[in-house]
Amino acid sequence: MTADAEEEIAARDFASIVESHRPQIFRFLLSSLRDVDLAETLTQECFLKAHQNWKQFRGDSSAMTWLMRIAINLQKDHWRNRRLQFWRHTQANAIGVDAASDWLPNGERSAEQQILAREQVAQVWKAVDGLSERQRTVFLLRYVEEQELSEIARVTGLREGTVKAHLSRALGRVRAELRGNK
């Protein structure tokens, strides 16, 4: 097989990976940042980095784990830069908790159920807002992306026990928020 052919196969593989994993990466970044523009930018950067390092991807872990790790690192860098330059960016583009909870699927629900669901979503957003960066990441990976604990541990570089502890604290916070406003 010639080098050109190999490159073409690799490019096709990468394109299929982008196609299949992009929505998930974007959703994770959107839930972490609550900023559509920023989530789009970081998703682009994530795939750009992945493309640059695609040859080095040995397939030890799944492509999703690898991409998610890149996304988490980009998000970390973003928060770090923002902390350092907080005086430059006084106005963030992140939307509020109430606006974020306006999104609900058009299912077969009554108006009352819709209102209740919106309230619950707002409360979960509020709880997520109060979590630390690490707790938020673990929480979103577990309950939105539905990843296994071992996979979360691989993605975040934490031990499984630590992931469990973070999850337990995050869940406690969500529970308290839901009960407190009941």
- Positions touching another protein (CB under 8 A) are 22-23, 26-27, 30-31, 36, 39-41, 43-44, 100-101, 103-105, 107, 117, 120-121, 123-125, 143-144, 146, 171, 174-175, 178-179, 182
Tell the smallest beta-carbon distance from residue 54 to another protein (Å): 20
Residue 174 Cβ, how far from another protein at the closest point, in Å? 6
Report the nearest approach of another protein to the CB of residue 32 (Å).
11
Query: Which is nearer to another protein, 58 or 182 (by Cβ)?
Result: 182
Of 29, 25, 27, 48, the residue nearest 38 (C-alpha): 29
Q: Which is nearer to another protein, 6 or 172 (CB)?
A: 172
Q: How far is the CB of 144 from another protein (least distance, A)?
A: 5
Compare residues 2 and 52 and give the one whose CB is closer to another protein: 52
Do the beta carbons of residue 138 and residue 154 sit within 8 Å? no
